[in-house]
Structure 1
Amino acid sequence: MTRAEDGAVNAVSTQSGACASAGVRRGLAVAAAASLALVAGCSSNDAKSAAPSVSFSDSPSPKSSQEVEKERVLEAYRSMWQARNRTYAKAELDPQLEEYAGNKALSNIKITLMYYQDHDIVTKGKPTNSPEVTRVDTKADPKKAWITDCVDASDYHEVNSKTGKRVEQKNAPTRVVYKATAIASSADKWTIWTSDIDRGAKC
């Protein structure tokens, strides 16, 4: 092999070696890039799978037994007042009154009704109630509840059933505090048991 040929061979060998090295480098670069892409993909998938799922619920918290009983007591109390108002408005005993009132609460209404009938009195308008159940004893037998109510009678008046004229009541307060108790029957039905004006309290 001549020196020229030897130089050419060396040049070809050098060029081939350079190309081979370049090919290797390109192969390594491609492999590295693929590895990075794979790692990035795995990391992304891992992050997605590792991300905690957050769920939101609109469901309200369940009510306690005390809250449920208080609502039932208030329902009975308001129903008693509605029947009471109808009784006084017509000077006739409302047929639903005894479903919600008993004992002293019922007798007080009947005594007032008799007075209205004897004096030709009926009522106009409606009082505004703001009752609150202050305590419920579910362990008592029967169960018992206590109610405080601020009654506003500003738009509630007594009138003569024959003339329609308003019956004047001197020094009568327009806002009074009622204190009431309720008991639950064996059928677990609440009945207003006592209801009295607390003349020493203000609201």
Structure 2
Amino acid sequence: MTWGYVMNWRKARIGLAVFTATASITLGACSSGEGASQASPTAPSQASLPGSTTAVADPADTAKQLAIAAYLGMWSDMAEAATTSDWQSSKLARNATAEALSKMSRGLYADRYNGLVTKGKPENSPQVESVEPADNPTTVNIVDCGDDSHWLKYRIDNGQPAEDGPGGRRHINAMVKKAVDGSWKVTDFAIQDVGTC
């Protein structure tokens, strides 16, 4: 695949260096952290408090966990579709919408057109950069240091590796939004060059 203009990971990544979804996102430092362990697709469990049965879950914490789950789900769906460069896979819309979905579909279409498939999986270490608004979140901005070293393109005709540049760690910005039905989906993402995190 190509995380950038997706499926052309290495060729389209430069054009995606600017995160088009919002001008307010700043590049954060990449590091693995608690974000990666919060990838549960369900709301966090409510903690017990002294003198009461359960406490109401913090809306910001719930939003963070659901946004990270959607972000990781998007890359998982992408990796699955990329094994056949299925640019029309209905699974792509499970965790992505708007520009994010368009980028993935276009990237997969380009790979199919060029006779390429992608094998392996990306490795992600997402962390929440911001939650807006804090009291009733509808937008979560995520930073990630994604690694595509083991997510590589191959030619369909002969099974040989495609010559599309080296894999490695890349800085990724993503925006995840709450839909009217309460679900969380990635609406846009931008990927930088190898070595940016």
User: TM-score scaled to structure 1, two decimals?
Assistant: 0.64
Q: List structure 1 runs of 4+ shifted beyond 4 angstroms.
A: 59-63, 139-142
CA distance in 2 between partners of 1:116 and 1:122 (Å): 7
Percent identical pairs in the alignment equals: 24
CA distance in 2 between partners of 1:167 and 1:69 (Å): 39
1:1-203 matches, cutoff 5 A: 63-92=57-86, 93-138=88-133, 143-170=138-165, 172-199=166-193, 202-203=196-197
Contact kept, 8 Å, 1:84 with 1:94, in 2: the verdict is: no
Could you report, residue by residue, the CA deviation over 1:117-164 in whole angstroms, capped at 9, with x for unpaired residues?
111100111111111111111469981110111111111110001210
Contact kept, 8 Å, 1:86 with 1:94, in 2: the verdict is: no
Higher relative contact order (CA 8 A, sep 6+): 2
Task: Check 1:161–1:201 CA distance in 2 against 1; reply closer, same or farther (3 A cut).
Answer: closer
Unpaired segments of 5 or more residues in structure 2?
A: 1-46, 50-54
Task: Check 1:141–1:185 CA distance in 2 against 1; reply closer, same or farther (3 A cut).
Answer: farther
SS of aligned partner of 1:77: helix
SS of aligned partner of 2:188: strand
CA distance in 2 between partners of 1:138 and 1:192 (Å): 17
SS of aligned partner of 2:90: coil
Between structures 1 and 2, the one with greater helix share = 1
Instruction: Count residues with an aligned counterpart.
Output: 144
CA distance in 1 between partners of 2:186 and 2:96 (Å): 5
Structure 1 residue 64: Cα displacement: 2.4
Contact kept, 8 Å, 2:153 with 2:162, in 1: the verdict is: yes
Contact kept, 8 Å, 1:88 with 1:113, in 2: the verdict is: yes
Larger Rg belongs to: 1
Structure 1 residue 186: Cα displacement: 1.3
